[in-house]
Each structure stands twice: as C-alpha cells, then as structure tokens.
Amino acid sequence: MPETLNISLRGGEFEAEVLKDGSGPPLLYLHGAIGQKGWAPFLDTLAKSFTVYAPYMPGYSKSTGLEKLDDVADLTLYQFELLDALGVSKTHVVGHFLGGMIAAEMAALSPSYVDRLVLAAPAGTWRDSDPVADLLSMTADDLQNELWSSASSSMSLSPADFEANSNLKAELAADRMQDLTAAGKFLWPIPDRGLKRRAYRIKAPTLVLWGENDRIIPPVYAEDFTRLVTGSELLVIRNAGHLLMIERAEVFAAAVSKFLNQD
C-alpha cells in the first residue's frame, strides 16, 4: 500500500496530497481530468521498478490551491515546485489526459526535470473535425458510458482489471462535480493552450499511448503528438477506451515499464 505524503508549498498557500510507493528511479504520475486519480493496480506494477509519486492535482481530493492557479503554465510550474519539495531533481513523467498535457508542458518548459516521458491520451491540441468531448456538458450516465471501451465488459478483461473498472464506475458519480470543476479551469472551452508552439523544446524520449476505442479524445489526436514530439513512439492499445490504464492495466504497465527501462 502506498504511503500518503502531505506537502506544504509556498508557505501553506498550497497543500499537496501525494501517494508514494516503490523503489528505484523516480516516476511522477499525473492523473487525468476525471475517472481515475490516486492509486490503481497499474501503479502497483510500476512501483516494483520505480519510486512512484502520484499527487492529486490542486482541486482534487485534499490538494488545495486551485483558486491560486490561473492557467496551464501555473499548473506546470506547480509541478516543478512539488518535485523540488520532494527532493526530486529529475524524474520519468507519466501523464493521462489533463496530466498528459501538463507532463508535456513540463518537458517543454524545463527539459532538465524530465528523464523519459509517457503521454497517455494527452490533451493539448484541437481539431475542429474531431472535437474532444465536452466533459462539462455530459451527464453522469453519458460520462459513465463514454469513459470506457465498448469492450470493457468483455471476458478478455483480467479479474483485477474487471474489479478496478467496477470500483471506478461506482466512485465516479461521487467525485464527478469536484473533478470537473478542477479540470474545467484548464480544459474548457477547448484544451489547446499553445502546447504546439512549445513542443519543439521536448527533448525527453517520448512514448504516446492511446486506447483504440477512446471516445473522449479520439485516437486521431495521436498523430498530433507524434508529429509534435520529434522521435516519439506510438502504441495504440486494443480493446481500451479513455481509461486505458485501468481497462488494460497489465498491458499499459508492461508497455510503460519496457519503455522507461530502455537504455
């Protein structure tokens, strides 16, 4: 089980709740907008090879200070402050959706902090022809349906993945409004905050992961990130939707571990 660290930043203006487990090189995991944050089975697997830090972003769980952040740049700089407080000068960074956008911004704004970079269905670009889903306008039932692959009830799911799916679906409604309030500040009305103008600065080896059945941010967006990040690799995970790290936890963790362990 992970331990919970409570980190005070800027003289108490921010209180960060961070989950930590494992040993080995540091790995920062930045959660997505909704549906999964905190700890999950895929992080248990990664913690076998890495010291995993999984913070709740401001506005999520007990992490405070959201009102003091105006934009994506503020949220990105906050991550550097958190790493400094944790005593981590360089780390692998894995991010999903909102967390993926911030992970990419970290690698662009201060490349020295980021060793290797994994972007799982990251936000950050926009196509009029294939709009990202408007999470704020979706009902709880719609959100329940759209977050998951159409194959999420398949017998191909491992027992652990099936249990994780069931648990997250049960928790989603309770946290939905808090999560969307926090995420909306950085994703609404569209998630394009100019990352494409800064992505040329990303020097970290990068893996882009996508669920083939993602209905929140269509897999066509993978083309944007593999084009923007020079030399990046792409892996599309079959029978996975937006929450690919939950629906296909074993496949996701194996792909991330393999990439991060490359020489």
Token pair for residue 164?
């994780």
| Cα distance between residue 15 and residue 12, in whole Å | 6
| Cα distance between residue 85 and residue 92, in whole Å | 17
Q: Which CATH number fits domain 3-260: 3.40.50.2000, 3.40.30.10, 3.40.50.1820, 3.40.50.880?
A: 3.40.50.1820
Tell me what percent of the residues of the chain surpass a pLDDT of 90.
Answer: 79
Q: What is the pLDDT of residues 210-237, one digit of tens each?
A: 999 999 999 999 999 999 999 999 999 9
CA distances from 173 to 1, 121, 170, 176 (A): 25, 22, 7, 5
Q: In terms of pLDDT, which residue wins out, 114 or 137?
A: 114
Instruction: Specify the pTM.
Output: 0.93
Mean of pLDDT values over 100-107:
98
Q: Output Rg (C-alpha) for the chain, integer angstroms.
A: 17
Angle formed by the axes of helices 159-187 and 98-109, nearest 10°: 60
Q: How many other β-carbons are positioned within 10 Å of the β-carbon of residue 73?
A: 14
Q: Which 8-state DSSP code applies to residue 118?
A: E
Please report, for the chain, the start and end positions of each structural domain, with discontinuous segments joined by +.
Answer: 3-260
Q: What is the pLDDT of residues 38-66, one digit of tens each?
A: 999 999 999 999 999 999 999 999 999 99
- Cross-strand partners of 30: 95
Mean pLDDT of the chain: 92
Q: How confident is the model at residue 154 (pLDDT cuts 50, 70, 90)?
A: very low
User: Would the pLDDT of 76 be above 60?
Assistant: yes
